Structure 1
Amino acid sequence: MDDAPSLRQRLLRTRSVEEIMSCCAGEHALKKVIGPIELIFFGIGAIIGTGIFVITGVAAADFAGPGLVFSFMIAGTACLFAALCYAEFATMVPLAGSAYTYSYASLGEIWAWIIGWDLILEYSVSIAVVAVGWSGYMNSFLTEIGVVLPPALVNPPGIEGGVINLPAILIIALITLLLISGVKGSARVNTAIVVAKISVVLFFIALGVFYIDPANWNPFLPFGWSGVLAGAAIVFFAYIGFDAVSTAAEEVRNPGRDLPIGIIVSLIICTILYIVVAAILTGIVPYSLLAGTSAPVAFALEYVGVPWGAEIISVGAVLGITSVMLVLLYGQSRIFFAMARDGLLPRSFAKVHPTLRTPVRASLLVGAVTALLASLLPLESMAELVNIGTLAAFVIVSVGIIVLRRTRPELPRPFRCPLVPLVPALAIGFCLALILALPTVTHLRFVVWLAIGLVIYALYGYRHAHYRNPGSAGDDRAVQENE
């Protein structure tokens, strides 16, 4: 009788939580140096950026009008349900890898690969899009002080005489070097930047409230509730960063206590700020005038005759976008590192520097690829791909919580998602609704990306996973089957 596992069993084979935890030791271990305050600032650093300084104008003008506040509420609620699921997983499996690692523990290898490949898309495109935005703000700032860069050095090929986006390359290179130097120093830099940009957001709120004209809120829902839902699918881009907190799990000193604090508190703070800013922005400026502006918050203060305030907002935008890139580059490198450590990607990228205790090779690869994307490609149409990738990750994590509660109810859970399976089901429902609200072309692009990923998995990942090559990276035991 042949006892060899079938193809289905191999694809759905999980790795036990105990076995996954055994990976974070020895040469593949990262240094535990992050505390709860730094985690909160990591979350805020990733969330407050292009969403509040750029996307608010597009979503208000083209989709939701003043109802943008409801769009942020819907997107924030979907994220909160997902955040509770992330918090349980992050405390139960406090390793780099985020949703990828959680899927491996609950749903099986094939789903872990799919979500890991999905996260590579999410983070890489996010970093590139944000770097292009940073380049635009920085180029405007340099022009104002008399330093004019030639179009060939600030635009991608084929766009207004562009050859390469040099500022985008330089900022990604600088942040990559910072991350390689050590996570503690990176966290300190991020904290300082976040304090500055939160001060700028509060400045806009304190100043803008005196210029609100209630007439601008009438009609409040010019595009109806369908516009509000479509707006929620667009502004969801503003929330993609909160899951980056979970990628820091392996470097957190007390993950059982600190990870839920970092994930949930940062999300709540940012949601409140988004709602307040959206209400003030659409109260200052008629929503129709926000069409086409890439800096809606600064534009609002210029509109009411406060140009000096607009300049302060522009500085805050540059700082905000910088911290977003820092956290996203950090998260992408840790996900890539985790997949390499499991053998699904080349194991050379799982090497940790003996002194710095950072994944230098993974960080350099991520920096190089995202710099190439940001410098050569016009990525405006790609932002929606980030949304669908993030939403898909949230769905799979939520499903994983339900599955693992049934298959491993005895596992220690320092933080327990409340009302399971209701809360995960609500997260799944909200995220699927937002996925359906995205354009069909986005769905098609996402399917193509996943198909490419499955080909790579069949040619490489399936053959090099740990249980087919035991002992290759500190993993000497067989993995658990998910029957």
Structure 2
Amino acid sequence: MASADRTLNRAITRPMLLVFIVGDVLGAGIYALAGVVAGRVGGAIWAAFALALVLALLTAFAYAELVTKYPRAGGAAVWANQAFDRPFATFMIAFAVMMSGVTSAATLARAFGGDYLAEFVSLPVALVAVAFLIVVGLVNFRGIEVSVRLNVGLTAVECAGLLLVVVIGAAFLLDGGGDPGRAFTFKAGEAVPLAILSGAALAFYALIGFEDSVNVAEETQDPRHAYPVALFGGLAIAGVIYLLVTGIAAMAVPTAELAGSTGPLLEVVQLGPLAMPTEVFSAIALLAVTNGALINLIMASRLTYGMASQGIVPSVFGRVHATRRTPWVAIVFTSAIAVVLAVTGDLSVLADTTVLLLLAVFITVNVAVLVLRRTPVEHDHFRAPTIMPVLGIVVCAGLMTQKSAETFARAGVLLGVGALLWLVNRKLT
């Protein structure tokens, strides 16, 4: 009997891929972190986001080369395995990606309990974060079809929210409000380059997501030609929107007010002739935060399930619920870690931990590009200028120096959990 066709349907066109990447990059980070970045860099928030965009583009060159050279799902872990052939190192890269999703969800849980929710009710942030993660975990458990449908709607909402900030803020400035010069001021008492670098190290959180697109490589039409255009185009579109939002926010609202708010964009939309009810925008922001957390927990739980299915971590994590057909043990595991993180860390530290984990992954990907050039493939593919992955390694390492000892400790503990799971699985098999 002929074997079943196991190939995936290549239904994603180049425009669809572009929209997918834009939607994956644009997200809740900007809603939650613009104020924290303002506290690090001063009024020139856009400068930190601009540098973060440049740094993201450097690593995007590496992703563009590898995904067109090896157009299949798996991403960083697959490439690390091909380049270094070290099973433990491959596992740790996959686990770092998974944990970055968990820490990101915890970050957004803290953001959910901040100033946006305070427009409706005032509750302890930690309590809200725990309840929020339980609800998101239940949606994840309910099923992937429900989750994906919800994601499509929430993505449209969060993009509309950012456009509202631009329109309302611009109308306020044109009406004579604000101070355009404020967008070119930096934090007092700190060297400008260091202030921008410190802000970019956190702003980078709002630009992650492009790396997830490699997992639909096997479902994309002509990925060797579609990916570079969609990847760079998607980052450029998201970057322009971020620069508009942060530039207008800095001009419209005093820096101290932005820095002191966990709902910084809320400060913009209540200004000028087109001001909107703060409750309406808060609802949009809360939906955006929910969407980001849902995406991250879906990714983390499915990656955990996938590792269990391949015998890399204990098989218990591969258990699927009998009726919902979802990986319930993996969902409980990732959600529980997110709860612990949300209760023990603040918004800035959790976002920094997410970025630190991904920076380690990005360094690995940039090194893998150079190593895998020793192994040519028969088909044509995008080739990044050699200087790009080299610069990617340098700048990622540079951004890592901006992270605190607490951030490194949190990341180390999370990776230690991964190493423990690896050892337990080796003992059981």
Regarding TM over 0.5, the answer is yes
Instruction: Give 3-state SS (helix, strand or coil) of 2:208's partner.
Output: helix
Matched, 1:90 2:67: yes
Decide whether the 8 Å contact of 1:35 with 1:252 is kept in 2. Answer: yes
For the structure 1 residues 33 and 334, does the alpha-carbon distance in structure 2 shift closer, same or farther, using more than 3 Å as the test? Answer: farther
Q: How far apart are residue 202 of structure 1 and its match?
A: 1.6
Decide whether the 8 Å contact of 1:71 with 1:231 is kept in 2. Answer: yes
Alignment-derived partner of residue 470 in structure 1: none
Alignment-derived partner of residue 79 in structure 2: 102
In structure 1, C-alpha distance between the alignment counterparts of 2:136 and 2:240, rounded to whole Å? 29
Decide whether the 8 Å contact of 1:49 with 1:317 is kept in 2. Answer: no
2:377 pairs with 383, 389, 410, which one?
Answer: 410
Q: How far apart are residue 427 of structure 1 and its match?
A: 1.1
Alignment-derived partner of residue 366 in structure 2: 398
For the structure 1 residues 327 and 230, does the alpha-carbon distance in structure 2 shift closer, same or farther, using more than 3 Å as the test? Answer: same
1:59 pairs with 1, 16, 37, which one?
Answer: 37
In structure 1, C-alpha distance between the alignment counterparts of 2:76 and 2:396, rounded to whole Å? 15
Tell me the TM-score normalised to structure 2 length.
0.84
Tell me the TM-score normalised to structure 1 length.
0.75
Q: How far apart are residue 245 of structure 1 and its match?
A: 1.7
For the structure 1 residues 172 and 355, does the alpha-carbon distance in structure 2 shift closer, same or farther, using more than 3 Å as the test? Answer: closer
More displaced stretch, 262-271 vs 244-253: 244-253
For the structure 1 residues 191 and 449, does the alpha-carbon distance in structure 2 shift closer, same or farther, using more than 3 Å as the test? Answer: closer
Q: How far apart are residue 244 of structure 1 and its match?
A: 1.8
Decide whether the 8 Å contact of 1:45 with 1:324 is kept in 2. Answer: no
In structure 2, C-alpha distance between the alignment counterparts of 1:350 and 1:425, rounded to whole Å? 38
Decide whether the 8 Å contact of 1:53 with 1:297 is kept in 2. Answer: yes
Matched, 1:443 2:408: yes
Q: How far apart are residue 165 of structure 1 and its match?
A: 2.9
More displaced stretch, 220-229 vs 286-295: 220-229
**Match for 1:274: what amino acid?**
Y
In structure 1, C-alpha distance between the alignment counterparts of 2:415 and 2:69, rounded to whole Å? 28
1:197 pairs with 158, 163, 168, which one?
Answer: 158
Q: How far apart are residue 205 of structure 1 and its match?
A: 0.9
Alignment-derived partner of residue 353 in structure 2: 385
Decide whether the 8 Å contact of 1:344 with 1:457 is kept in 2. Answer: yes
For the structure 1 residues 354 and 271, does the alpha-carbon distance in structure 2 shift closer, same or farther, using more than 3 Å as the test? Answer: farther
Instruction: Give 3-state SS (helix, strand or coil) of 1:418's partner.
Output: coil
For the structure 1 residues 97 and 71, does the alpha-carbon distance in structure 2 shift closer, same or farther, using more than 3 Å as the test? Answer: same
Decide whether the 8 Å contact of 2:305 with 2:330 is kept in 1. Answer: no
**Match for 2:99: what amino acid?**
L
Alignment-derived partner of residue 434 in structure 1: 399
2:167 pairs with 185, 190, 206, which one?
Answer: 206
For the structure 1 residues 47 and 176, does the alpha-carbon distance in structure 2 shift closer, same or farther, using more than 3 Å as the test? Answer: farther
Within a 5 Å distance, the mapping from 1:461-476 to structure 2 comes to: none
Q: How far apart are residue 36 of structure 1 and its match?
A: 4.1
In structure 1, C-alpha distance between the alignment counterparts of 2:116 and 2:246, rounded to whole Å? 24
The alignment's C-alpha RMSD in Å is: 3.4
More displaced stretch, 257-266 vs 100-109: 257-266
Alignment-derived partner of residue 40 in structure 1: 18
For the structure 1 residues 219 and 73, does the alpha-carbon distance in structure 2 shift closer, same or farther, using more than 3 Å as the test? Answer: closer
Decide whether the 8 Å contact of 1:66 with 1:278 is kept in 2. Answer: no
Decide whether the 8 Å contact of 1:56 with 1:296 is kept in 2. Answer: yes
For the structure 1 residues 126 and 322, does the alpha-carbon distance in structure 2 shift closer, same or farther, using more than 3 Å as the test? Answer: same
Decide whether the 8 Å contact of 1:236 with 1:387 is kept in 2. Answer: yes
Q: How far apart are residue 216 of structure 1 and its match?
A: 2.3
Structure 1 unaligned residues grouped into runs of 5+:
1-24, 157-161, 465-483
In structure 2, C-alpha distance between the alignment counterparts of 1:296 and 1:115, rounded to whole Å? 34
**Match for 1:127: what amino acid?**
A
Q: How far apart are residue 170 of structure 1 and its match?
A: 1.2
For residues 385-425 of structure 1, give each alpha carbon's deviation from its aligned partner in whole angstroms, at most 9, with x where no partner exists.
Answer: 1110011111101110110012x123535x41321x21111
Instruction: Give 3-state SS (helix, strand or coil) of 1:382's partner.
Output: helix
For the structure 1 residues 34 and 334, does the alpha-carbon distance in structure 2 shift closer, same or farther, using more than 3 Å as the test? Answer: farther
Asked which structure has the greater CA Rg, the reply is 1
Decide whether the 8 Å contact of 1:173 with 1:371 is kept in 2. Answer: no
Matched, 1:336 2:304: yes
Q: How far apart are residue 28 of structure 1 and its match?
A: 8.5
For residues 325-362 of structure 1, give each alpha carbon's deviation from its aligned partner in whole angstroms, at most 9, with x where no partner exists.
Answer: 33323332443344334431245656899999xx832x
In structure 2, C-alpha distance between the alignment counterparts of 1:351 and 1:218, rounded to whole Å? 54
For residues 236-280 of structure 1, give each alpha carbon's deviation from its aligned partner in whole angstroms, at most 9, with x where no partner exists.
Answer: 111222212223334545544444444333222111111111111
In structure 1, C-alpha distance between the alignment counterparts of 2:120 and 2:264, rounded to whole Å? 20
In structure 2, C-alpha distance between the alignment counterparts of 1:354 and 1:106, rounded to whole Å? 38
Alignment-derived partner of residue 289 in structure 2: 321
Number of residue pairs matched by the alignment:
415
In structure 2, C-alpha distance between the alignment counterparts of 1:31 and 1:462, rounded to whole Å? 39
Alignment-derived partner of residue 333 in structure 2: 369
For the structure 1 residues 63 and 305, does the alpha-carbon distance in structure 2 shift closer, same or farther, using more than 3 Å as the test? Answer: farther
